[in-house]
Amino acid sequence: MKITATTKEAYQLFHEGILALGRAERAGMRVDVGYCDKQKKWLTKKADRLEKKILQSQFGRHWRHSTGGKLNLNSNSQLGRFLYQIKKYKPTRQTEAGSPSTDEEALSELNIPELDMLLEMRKLRKVRDTYLDAFVREQVDGYVHPFFNLHLVKTFRSSSDSPNFQNIPKRDKQAMKICRGALYPRPGHQFLSMDYSGIEVRMACIYTEDEKLTYDTLHGDMHKDMAVELYMLDSLDKRHPGETVLRQGAKNGFVFPQFYGDYWGGCAPNLLKWTKTAYLRDDTPALVHLKNKGLVELDKNGTLVNSDKFFDHVKNVENQFWKVRYKTYSKWKDQQWASYQRKGYIDMKTGFRCSGLMNRKDVGNYPFQGSAFHCLLWAFIEIDKEIQYQELYSRLVSQIHDEVTADVHPEEFKVMTKLMADISQVRIREAWPWITVPLEVEAEASEIDKSWGERNFFPLP
């Protein structure tokens, strides 16, 4: 796929973006090498204990025997053969080529204790070898200076290397805290981060002009609404710890996958996964609730044995999702695909053009993903300009996905907070009038001399 700037403004955005990101690279982040070494030893011990448990289990012994004594715990092809050909487990997911999947989600959905230990072991070793090792290897005089690139990702997103900041875990809170716990601001300073909230969905509202999507995004709660439909609830209280899990399930197992091109057959297993820990206000386990609704069958031990009716139910919900709830969005996707087939390219509101070989999912998503990043990059550039213009001691030091992080002098904290909020929410809409829905950012900050892993949310002015 080829990406081209079709306007002077689009070219200027990337030109200035490279310079602003270059200044962030030069500033860098302070790394605690002693902390990294200590954490690596702890991670090694914990991972080795998990490996020993796996190997001593009946599951592990059978796996070793099936390989002729040549067991490799890191070999997914070996694991796939053992699980699906020898043990005859029914795969919960398939690869694009149609083979049984051995990715993290597929393995976790099998509900095998030894696989859960294997995934934990792999995670711990990845944190040790991919992140902490990289911090120590790449640091110079106690600072890491990661590269931020604008020319490698086909969806216009940035990338990072030496070390790769874009891959630092975020969803896994334990892994994120360990990794970010190694990184510190300059002495006497503190971190301040700004994260665009749901910016890709807001871009979808702008491009598709779907009134229902816009209302749900700005005023409603589509994740709650879909949880009620998908799990056949009378209502949902997202303050209740058991029911909020179902809202998360609808969000991560259906809404986001649907927007990114997944279908009901891929969503249904994910939705069921969230029922393992969810329960209703009357303490009914979510899986039992689905059984009472006639959507699943459980054996006497409460284990799921049949979910065909639930799959059919999810299929029906998907049909309503696109043909009724967001029919304007659905129509836009059809028109976008037809336009691409006719022209061979798609244009973005930010002045860029994507051409070349793309599938239907790409054509529908690249405008949202690309424009969302362009908004972040524009804000990054303008914040960097203000720092230079006002001759502040604070510096931008990182850009990860929809998040910008600054190393802030405490006396400039209020100035930087107002500056980041104003640029990212107000000035950007003045510069780009095509942004017809409000943009919102969330903020986090660490205390003075505290690590990047010790941040707390706070309201913006």
Domain ranges of the chain: 2-28+145-198+368-458, 34-136, 211-325
What pLDDT score does 91 carry? 83
Measured CA to CA, the distance from residue 204 to residue 206 in angstroms comes to 5
Specify the pLDDT at position 69: 86
Spatial distance between the Cα atoms of 227 and 278, rounded to a whole number of angstroms: 12
Query: Hey, which bits of 291-438 come out as E strands?
Result: 297-298, 304-306, 345-347, 352-355, 395-400, 403-408
- What pLDDT digit, counting tens, does each position of 405-439 carry? 999 999 999 999 999 999 999 999 999 999 999 99
Indicate the CATH number for domain 2-28+145-198+368-458. Answer: 3.30.70.370
pLDDT at 461: 63
DSSP string, 165-194: GGGS-SSSHHHHHHHHTTEE-STT-EEEEE
Residues of the chain with pLDDT below 70 are: 458-461
Span 194-208, pLDDT tens digits: 999 899 999 999 999
pLDDT (0 to 100) of residue 460: 65
Give the pLDDT score at 409: 97
- CATH code of the region 34-136: 1.20.1060.10
pTM exceeds 0.75 for this model: yes
